[in-house]
Protein backbone atom coordinates (compact mmCIF):
# COMPACT_ATOMS: atom_id res chain seq x y z
CA UNK A 1 0.00 0.00 0.00
CA UNK A 2 1.13 3.55 -0.67
CA UNK A 3 2.80 4.79 2.57
CA UNK A 4 0.83 8.07 2.66
CA UNK A 5 -2.48 6.25 2.26
CA UNK A 6 -1.39 3.72 4.91
CA UNK A 7 -0.60 6.58 7.33
CA UNK A 8 -4.02 8.14 6.70
CA UNK A 9 -5.76 4.80 7.32
CA UNK A 10 -3.86 4.21 10.59
CA UNK A 11 -4.48 7.64 12.13
CA UNK A 12 -6.86 8.04 15.08
CA UNK A 13 -7.44 10.70 17.74
CA UNK A 14 -5.12 10.10 20.69
CA UNK A 15 -6.03 11.61 24.06
CA UNK A 16 -3.26 10.27 26.30
CA UNK A 17 0.45 11.00 25.90
CA UNK A 18 3.71 9.97 27.48
CA UNK A 19 5.52 12.61 29.50
CA UNK A 20 8.24 12.74 26.84
CA UNK A 21 9.12 16.04 25.15
CA UNK A 22 9.38 16.12 21.39
CA UNK A 23 12.92 16.35 20.07
CA UNK A 24 14.18 19.41 18.22
CA UNK A 25 14.21 17.30 15.05
CA UNK A 26 10.57 16.25 15.54
CA UNK A 27 9.57 19.88 16.12
CA UNK A 28 11.49 21.00 13.04
CA UNK A 29 9.90 18.31 10.85
CA UNK A 30 6.40 19.29 12.01
CA UNK A 31 7.09 22.99 11.37
CA UNK A 32 8.55 22.21 7.97
CA UNK A 33 5.49 20.09 7.09
CA UNK A 34 2.92 22.71 8.10
CA UNK A 35 4.76 25.42 6.17
CA UNK A 36 4.27 23.27 3.06
CA UNK A 37 0.48 23.51 3.45
CA UNK A 38 -1.17 25.36 0.59
CA UNK A 39 -3.26 28.45 1.25
CA UNK A 40 -5.91 30.08 -0.93
CA UNK A 41 -4.28 32.28 -3.55
CA UNK A 42 -0.98 31.56 -1.74
CA UNK A 43 -1.78 34.35 0.73
CA UNK A 44 0.00 32.47 3.54
CA UNK A 45 -2.01 34.29 6.18
CA UNK A 46 -1.90 31.53 8.79
CA UNK A 47 0.23 31.74 11.92
CA UNK A 48 1.35 28.69 13.87
CA UNK A 49 2.02 28.86 17.60
CA UNK A 50 4.07 25.81 18.63
CA UNK A 51 3.65 25.62 22.41
CA UNK A 52 5.86 23.29 24.43
CA UNK A 53 5.78 25.39 27.60
CA UNK A 54 3.34 23.51 29.80
CA UNK A 55 2.60 26.61 31.89
CA UNK A 56 1.25 28.35 28.77
CA UNK A 57 -0.87 25.33 27.85
CA UNK A 58 -2.15 25.29 31.44
CA UNK A 59 -3.19 28.95 31.19
CA UNK A 60 -5.05 28.23 27.95
CA UNK A 61 -6.71 25.21 29.61
CA UNK A 62 -7.79 27.38 32.55
CA UNK A 63 -9.40 29.90 30.21
CA UNK A 64 -11.21 27.13 28.33
CA UNK A 65 -12.41 25.72 31.66
CA UNK A 66 -13.64 29.19 32.65
CA UNK A 67 -15.99 29.21 29.65
CA UNK A 68 -16.81 25.48 29.57
CA UNK A 69 -20.26 24.21 30.42
CA UNK A 70 -20.79 21.72 33.24
CA UNK A 71 -21.41 19.06 30.58
CA UNK A 72 -18.06 19.81 28.90
CA UNK A 73 -16.24 19.69 32.24
CA UNK A 74 -17.86 16.34 33.05
CA UNK A 75 -16.94 14.96 29.63
CA UNK A 76 -13.34 16.03 30.11
CA UNK A 77 -13.21 14.46 33.56
CA UNK A 78 -14.68 11.23 32.14
CA UNK A 79 -11.86 11.15 29.59
CA UNK A 80 -9.41 11.26 32.48
CA UNK A 81 -7.72 14.57 31.74
CA UNK A 82 -7.96 18.03 33.18
CA UNK A 83 -6.24 19.36 30.07
CA UNK A 84 -8.07 20.05 26.84
CA UNK A 85 -4.67 19.31 25.22
CA UNK A 86 -4.62 15.95 27.05
CA UNK A 87 -1.19 16.65 28.57
CA UNK A 88 0.46 16.42 25.16
CA UNK A 89 3.98 17.87 25.09
CA UNK A 90 3.05 20.03 22.09
CA UNK A 91 0.01 22.15 21.41
CA UNK A 92 -0.22 24.02 18.12
CA UNK A 93 -2.61 26.92 17.77
CA UNK A 94 -3.37 27.97 14.21
CA UNK A 95 -4.60 31.51 13.64
CA UNK A 96 -5.46 33.78 10.74
CA UNK A 97 -6.83 37.20 10.07
CA UNK A 98 -9.81 37.82 7.83
CA UNK A 99 -8.18 36.98 4.50
CA UNK A 100 -9.99 34.75 2.02
CA UNK A 101 -10.94 31.30 3.31
CA UNK A 102 -9.06 31.32 6.64
CA UNK A 103 -11.02 28.38 8.06
CA UNK A 104 -10.40 26.26 5.00
CA UNK A 105 -6.70 27.09 5.01
CA UNK A 106 -6.45 26.24 8.73
CA UNK A 107 -8.27 22.95 8.13
CA UNK A 108 -5.81 21.99 5.41
CA UNK A 109 -2.85 22.92 7.64
CA UNK A 110 -4.08 20.97 10.67
CA UNK A 111 -4.74 17.96 8.44
CA UNK A 112 -1.20 18.09 7.14
CA UNK A 113 0.15 18.40 10.70
CA UNK A 114 -1.98 15.44 11.77
CA UNK A 115 -0.76 13.16 8.97
CA UNK A 116 2.84 14.34 9.36
CA UNK A 117 2.72 13.55 13.10
CA UNK A 118 1.20 10.12 12.44
CA UNK A 119 3.90 9.35 9.86
CA UNK A 120 6.53 10.14 12.51
CA UNK A 121 4.99 7.74 15.05
CA UNK A 122 3.43 10.59 17.04
CA UNK A 123 -0.15 10.64 18.23
CA UNK A 124 -2.40 13.65 17.79
CA UNK A 125 -5.89 14.97 18.27
CA UNK A 126 -7.39 17.92 16.39
CA UNK A 127 -9.04 20.40 18.74
CA UNK A 128 -11.78 22.97 18.32
CA UNK A 129 -12.61 23.70 21.97
CA UNK A 130 -9.57 25.90 22.58
CA UNK A 131 -11.49 28.61 20.68
CA UNK A 132 -13.09 29.38 24.05
CA UNK A 133 -9.76 30.66 25.38
CA UNK A 134 -9.48 33.15 22.53
CA UNK A 135 -12.91 34.81 22.48
CA UNK A 136 -12.54 38.41 21.41
CA UNK A 137 -15.13 39.69 23.91
CA UNK A 138 -13.21 38.12 26.82
CA UNK A 139 -10.83 40.72 28.28
CA UNK A 140 -8.67 37.85 29.60
CA UNK A 141 -8.50 35.91 26.34
CA UNK A 142 -5.27 34.08 25.63
CA UNK A 143 -4.54 35.93 22.40
CA UNK A 144 -2.69 38.45 24.57
CA UNK A 145 -0.73 35.61 26.22
CA UNK A 146 0.52 34.45 22.82
CA UNK A 147 0.92 37.94 21.37
CA UNK A 148 -1.73 37.76 18.64
CA UNK A 149 -1.54 40.65 16.21
CA UNK A 150 -4.48 42.96 15.55
CA UNK A 151 -7.23 41.04 13.73
CA UNK A 152 -5.61 37.64 14.29
CA UNK A 153 -8.13 34.98 15.35
CA UNK A 154 -7.98 31.42 16.61
CA UNK A 155 -8.96 28.96 13.87
CA UNK A 156 -8.08 25.44 15.12
CA UNK A 157 -5.58 23.58 17.31
CA UNK A 158 -3.88 20.21 17.57
CA UNK A 159 -2.21 18.33 20.41
CA UNK A 160 0.77 16.17 19.43
CA UNK A 161 2.97 13.78 21.39
CA UNK A 162 4.21 10.26 21.93
CA UNK A 163 1.05 8.18 22.43
CA UNK A 164 0.47 6.46 25.76
CA UNK A 165 -2.54 4.54 24.46
CA UNK A 166 -3.75 2.82 21.34
CA UNK A 167 -6.99 3.51 19.54
CA UNK A 168 -8.35 1.96 16.39
CA UNK A 169 -9.21 4.35 13.57
CA UNK A 170 -12.90 5.16 13.30
CA UNK A 171 -15.13 2.95 11.19
CA UNK A 172 -15.81 4.22 7.71
CA UNK A 173 -19.34 4.89 6.54
CA UNK A 174 -19.36 4.75 2.74
CA UNK A 175 -23.00 5.91 2.79
CA UNK A 176 -21.59 9.40 3.36
CA UNK A 177 -20.24 9.40 -0.20
CA UNK A 178 -22.60 10.33 -3.02
CA UNK A 179 -21.56 9.32 -6.51
CA UNK A 180 -22.90 11.11 -9.58
Q: What is the pTM of this model?
A: 0.95
> Quick check: helix, strand or coil at residue 78?
helix
Confidence check: pLDDT of 99 > 90: no
Confidence class for position 147, pLDDT limits 50, 70, 90: very high
Q: What percentage of the chain has pLDDT greater than the value 90?
A: 86
Going from N- to C-terminal start, the domains of the chain cover 8-163
Confidence check: pLDDT of 85 > 90: yes
E-assigned strand segments in the chain? 46-51, 90-96, 123-127, 153-161
Tens digit of each residue's pLDDT (9 = 90 or more) over 29-43? 999 999 999 998 888
Confidence check: pLDDT of 109 > 90: yes
Triad 126, 132, 138: Cα angle to 5°: 155
Mean pLDDT score across all residues of the chain: 95
**What is the gyration radius of the CA atoms in the chain, in angstroms?**
17
The pLDDT value given to residue 77: 85
Lowest mean pLDDT among 47-56, 59-68, 78-87: 78-87
The pLDDT value given to residue 178: 96
User: In this structure, are residues 160 and 22 in contact, taking their beta carbons and an 8 Å threshold?
Assistant: yes
The pLDDT value given to residue 76: 86
The pLDDT value given to residue 61: 95
Confidence check: pLDDT of 81 > 90: no
Once rounded to an integer, what is the mean pLDDT over residues 158-165? Answer: 96
CATH code for the domain defined by 8-163: 3.40.109.10
The pLDDT value given to residue 43: 82
Q: Which of 10, 23, 11, 9 is nearest to 110 (CA)?
A: 11
User: In this structure, are residues 92 and 140 in contact, taking their beta carbons and an 8 Å threshold?
Assistant: no
The pLDDT value given to residue 98: 87
Mention every residue, 6+ apart, whose C-beta is less than 8 A from residue 110. Answer: 92, 94, 126, 156, 157, 158
Q: Which of 2, 5, 1 is nearest to 118 (CA)?
A: 5
The pLDDT value given to residue 177: 95
Q: Kindly list the distances between the CA atom of residue 54 and the CA atoms of 87, 104, 171, in Å, as whole numbers in the listed order.
A: 8, 28, 33
Amino acid sequence: MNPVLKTIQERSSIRRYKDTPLTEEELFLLKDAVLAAPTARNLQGLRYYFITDRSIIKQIDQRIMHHASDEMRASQKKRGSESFFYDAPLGVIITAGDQMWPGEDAGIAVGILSIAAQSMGLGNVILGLPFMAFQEDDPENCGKLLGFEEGEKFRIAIAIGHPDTEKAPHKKNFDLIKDF
